[in-house]
A and B are shown apart, each in its own frame.
Chain A
Amino acid sequence: MRELFLALLAGDGVHGYELKQALEQEFGALLPALNAGQIYSTLARLERDGLVVGESVEGDNRRKRVYGLTEAGRAELARWIAAPVPGTRLKDEFFMKFAVLASAGLANPRTLIDGQRREYMQSLRDLDAVLAANGNGAAAELLVEGAVLHLKADLEWLELIEERMTP
């Protein structure tokens, strides 16, 4: 979220609630309920780290704070823009759990696989329901399509695990 905030603050003079609006516009119903506290605590941390600077301005009748990037913030944003996001490698909570439990004889491998498959199928159903409810933005739609493809790969992998590691 830090880097997303830096990108959204690149325009300077941005209010905290505008950050929330920008995220909502991009991700729609997929965005969890963000409370103002979460937004402002992230901003406070960025400010403490010297990446963001807040400035009080005279509002209608309340004092408001607007935020922008410092020199260090711009450098950090430029670095983030230039660097590709690392690909996921060797990170699978289920398989680590499965391998350890199976070798220790603490659980039935097939039961673990069946349970995991049910969870993946349910997740697929959850995601399909999001796609079926029209009115998602293009970004949200692509995010869900991506998650569906990942789940299908996970399910295929589960087949492979089952083939090789169950008696």
Chain B
Amino acid sequence: MTCVLEARSLTKTYDTGGVEVDALRGVDLAVQRGEFVAIMGPSGCGKSTLLNLLAGLDRPTAGEVLLDGERIDELSETELARLRRSKVGFVFQFFNLVPTLSAVENVELPLLLVGRRRREARRSANALMGDLGIGDKHGTAPLLLSGGQQQRVALARALVNEPAIVLGDEPTGNLDSAATREVLGLLRAARDRGQTVLVVTHDSRVAAAADRIVTLRDGRVAEAAALEPPRPVTLPFES
């Protein structure tokens, strides 16, 4: 298996007005292609910091981040932006859709940003929205959609340019249980199609959908547990 995303001895120290706070204290993590990984841990354990470093949204104090085999912690802002556009898809808790654009315009945005032709981009966006069960929502403004539908649009936007990895920050944090199930189903389907998925979550149900759960505590990896394929479930009937 090839490693899509790798953290090596990552540390991150924030200087908060003269007081140094260690958010990460040496994190090693390797995400394989086609894997679905969940990062869990109590608030303040460093999971959001880790996600930001892995996404190239912030720089580590020490250590390395490799995306698709390339060091990203030393890249310039321009290079980082280029890399993120082509290799990373993001799904956020609050969807972060552009409210003035229609659903399909949101989905095709990443393709236009990497220079794809408008017609071709529209065709890909439409096809993917159909696959995700929101084919009838092309022209709708995001705010007129339900939370679950907005997250599907956001997921389509994250997947449309077939990024090396899809990163999620509490992707179901704002959804009810039915919509959570739908989004989890879509993330699993993306994994089954060979996409790599990494989500940060405190929802055990989301984590249970992953192949591996990495738990952070006080800025360190406290535990990494691989989950097995689902076991059969039956009622404990005794005669």
A binds B: yes
Expressed in whole angstroms, the minimum distance between the Cβ of B233 and any Cβ of chain A is 5
Contact string, A96-139, partner B, CB cutoff 8 A, digits 1/0?
00000000000000000010011011101111111110000000
Q: Return the contact of B237 from the options A29, A34, A127 (Cβ within 8 A).
A: A34
Determine whether the beta carbon of A124 is less than 8 Å from that of B208: yes
Which B-chain residue is minimally distant from A127 (CB atoms)? B233
Residues in A with CB closer than 8 Å to B188 are 132
Q: Return the contact of A121 from the options B181, B184, B213, B232 (Cβ within 8 A).
A: B213
Contact string, A1-35, partner B, CB cutoff 8 A, digits 1/0?
10000000000000000000000000101111010
Residues in A with CB closer than 8 Å to B185 are 132
Enumerate B149-181 residues with CB–CB distance to A below 8 Å.
Answer: 177, 181
Q: Return the contact of B204 from the options A129, A130, A155 (Cβ within 8 A).
A: A155
Enumerate A28-53 residues with CB–CB distance to B below 8 Å.
Answer: 29-32, 34, 38-39, 41-42
- Cβ-based interface call for B115 (8 A): no
Once bound together, how far apart are the Cα atoms of A88 and B225, in whole Å? 30
Determine whether the beta carbon of A121 is less than 8 Å from that of B225: yes
Determine whether the beta carbon of B227 is less than 8 Å from that of A41: no
- Cβ-based interface call for B136 (8 A): no
Chain B interface bracket (under 10, 10 to 19, 20 to 34, 35 or more): 20 to 34
> How many chain-A residues does the 8 Å CB contact rule pick out?
34
Q: Return the contact of A42 from the options B205, B208, B213, B239 (Cβ within 8 A).
A: B239
- Cβ-based interface call for A66 (8 A): no
Given A121-B225, A121-B227, A126-B230, A32 and B235 contact (CB-CB distance below 8 Å): yes
Assuming A120-B204, A126-B231, what are 12 further A-B pairs, CB within 8 angstroms?
Answer: A1-B237, A1-B238, A30-B235, A121-B207, A121-B208, A121-B225, A122-B227, A124-B208, A125-B228, A132-B181, A132-B185, A143-B235
